[in-house]
Chain A
Amino acid sequence: MTAAIEVRAVRRTFKAGKRTVVAVDDVSFSVPSGGVLGIVGESGCGKSTLARLILGLLPPDSGEIAVEGQRLADMDRKARARLIQPVFQDPFSSLNPLARIRDIVGMPLVAQGTLARAEVAKTVDEMLARVGLTTEMGRRLPAELSGGQRQRVAIARALVLRPRIVVCDEPTSALDVSVQAQILNLLAELRHDLNLTYLFISHNLAVVEHVASEVAVMYLGRLVEREPTEALFARPEHPYTKALLASVLTPEPGLGVPDVGLGDSLPDPANIPPGCRFHPRCPIAEPRCATTVPPLKPRPGGGVECLLA
């Protein structure tokens, strides 16, 4: 069976003045059809760049990406749009403020140019109902909806072409907790009903644990650990994964704020340390970590890049 998403040795750099920022550095992974791969990491680790590469919004410098067995590079925009769609973080800036909701949701159908107007309207209404919005709301402007309703619109727009894969980049970070739960439940329900594959990017580990079947931890452009969700949360191996998990503040009174032990030296993607790129912040680093690049140690359903794991 072909994987829904197949990423092989993908690298992407950006020029920032005289400096070269390596945003995604030799990343390989695959997501099986119907799976949810959660990607976690700090800001600047390259997770959004990875999302844009997989959506085909950015070409990789090297490496190859395939969705549903077809190379992204061989597809045109329309074909890509039928297979893979995004849901972005901020429902306030990702919807055209001057367009009515039904036109926003119908835009991908119109762009494909295969359906008559009446059919577009019918499909849009069905999609709105599916995400919990009324036909009446389709006549409104984005400014007339709440944050949660706008994120429902973004989801409807992503699903209206019936894609196989949805890339969710921090889909609930801008929302309140009570609304976040509604949207997460909706995404789970839609995935089940429409048999979708998700790439789910978030900095919120509790959310990722709840929705993902596998989790990849990204640090300075590399996936340093990747495993099935239960295994990763029960037995994190990479010291960075451990630190990330330790810094999750669960609503349990009396535990206090944990000491993450990462120190103050923040990573600079334009100046990646030699050896293990995490060693300057690593609480258990040894001298060899500063010189030897850790190889991928395979684990059931994933692997970890740490000399000491």
Chain B
Amino acid sequence: MSALLEVEKLEVGFGRTAAVRGSSFTVERGETHCLVGESGCGKSVTALAVMNLLARNATRRAARLAFQGEDLLKLNDTGMSRLRGNAMAMIFQEPMTSLNPAYTIGSQMTEVMRRHKHVAQRVATDRAADLLARVGITAPGLRLGQFPHQLSGGLRQRVMIAMSLMCDPQLLIADEPTTALDVTVQAQILRLLAGLQRDLGLGLLLITHDLGIVARVATRVSVMYAGEVVESAPTAELFANPRHPYTQGLLRCVPVPGKIRRGEPLGSIPGTVPRVGPGFEGCAFRERCDFADETCRQSIPRHLAAPTHDFLCRLPA
């Protein structure tokens, strides 16, 4: 059986900027796949490209982009709308801007189900109340009649999660779902997402810059740098045995409570993420890499460190 979501050699460009450069990954049913990277590495653009929600000036190309075996590249707007919010749903980072301030929670939640499933308003309202209770919101009946501004950030994000589940999606894409929230609320929301993912057997594509989140919730991790997946491995394997110099550097940058002594400098990566245009050759990390030499300007082979662990670096060691 094919994977739930297959992305092969995805390329997204905006004019003279190459935002995603040939990234490939799959999301299996019942797995949480994390795309991790710094701002501008192309992780959000990847998600938007999958959902076909890119801005008009973007160009999208891929060797394969398939959801449940269905070729997304061949779908027109109507075909895509049939899937979006239905079998594949998305949760965005900022729950304030992604909810419509002029409509009640109830009307926004039921609209998606009435549209896709053609059910009566009563049925949709019952389902919305059920899901609000399921994501841990007390007094769901009251919340359905409220407007987004009457809810806290954590509650709004719960509403977004409940809304994304209205039509029983197979694939959930969550783009930095907890970045705007406090740590205590973040832990609650992630626990909730992990529980739902397990109970409903969803495929979850989770986009984050936070390696702590990755370690705690991911089944598999793909590290993105300058539009490419530079390393991909099962979570425990990636943290125990990172092979790409960028992954190694990232892991050294994170202060781990009780692990790094105060007063000692943190590991850091000098410089910043480069802007890469179309036709860029070689490794995009070479300017910041301790191991770089002339050969890093040539095209870089992908190595296998283990059958399910690959990385993009000229150094096989």
Footprint of B on A, CB under 8 Å?
A: 42-43, 146-149, 176-182, 184-185, 188-189, 203-207, 209-213, 229, 233, 243-260, 262, 264, 266
Contacts and interface: CB of A to CB of B under 8 A. Distances in A.
Contacts of B215: 249-255
Contacts of B253: 177-178, 180-181
A185 B266 contact: yes
Nearest to A43: B182
B254 interface: yes
B255 A210 contact: yes
A283 to B, nearest CB: 12
A245 B215 CA distance: 17
A266 B257 contact: no
Given A42-B184, A245-B257, A252-B256, 13 more contacts: A177-B209, A177-B254, A178-B268, A180-B253, A184-B255, A206-B212, A243-B184, A251-B256, A254-B215, A254-B236, A255-B215, A256-B216, A260-B188
A81 B115 CA distance: 60
A182 B266 CA distance: 8
B262 A209 contact: yes
B254 A251 contact: yes
A5 to B, nearest CB: 20
B279 interface: no
A176 B39 contact: yes
Contacts of B281: none
Contacts of A256: 194, 216-217
Nearest to B217: A257
Contacts of B283: none
A176 B213 CA distance: 15
A206 B257 CA distance: 5
A66 B25 CA distance: 57
B211 interface: yes
Contacts of B142: none
Contacts of B153: 43
15 contacts: A42-B184, A176-B39, A177-B38, A205-B257, A206-B212, A207-B255, A209-B262, A247-B183, A249-B190, A249-B210, A250-B215, A251-B251, A255-B215, A260-B188, A264-B137
A212 B257 CA distance: 12
A147 B272 CA distance: 9
A206 B212 CA distance: 11
Interface in B213-235: 213-218, 235
B209 A176 contact: yes
A205 B235 CA distance: 23
Interface in B171-223: 182-188, 190-191, 194, 209-218
A246 B266 contact: no
A178 B269 contact: yes
A189 B266 CA distance: 12
Given A210-B260, A243-B184, A266 B152 contact: yes
Contact of B187 (A148, A203, A249): A249
Nearest to A245: B257
A178 B246 CA distance: 10
B250 interface: yes
B239 interface: yes
A182 B251 contact: no
Given A181-B253, A206-B256, A188 B209 contact: no
- Most chain B CB inside 10 Å of its own CB: which residue of A181, A209, A211: A181
Contacts of A206: 212, 254-257
Interface string B247-287: 00111111111101011011111101100000000000000
A42 B46 CA distance: 31
B266 A210 contact: yes
A274 B186 CA distance: 27
Contacts of A177: 38, 209, 211, 250, 253-254
B272 A210 contact: no
A244 B184 CA distance: 6
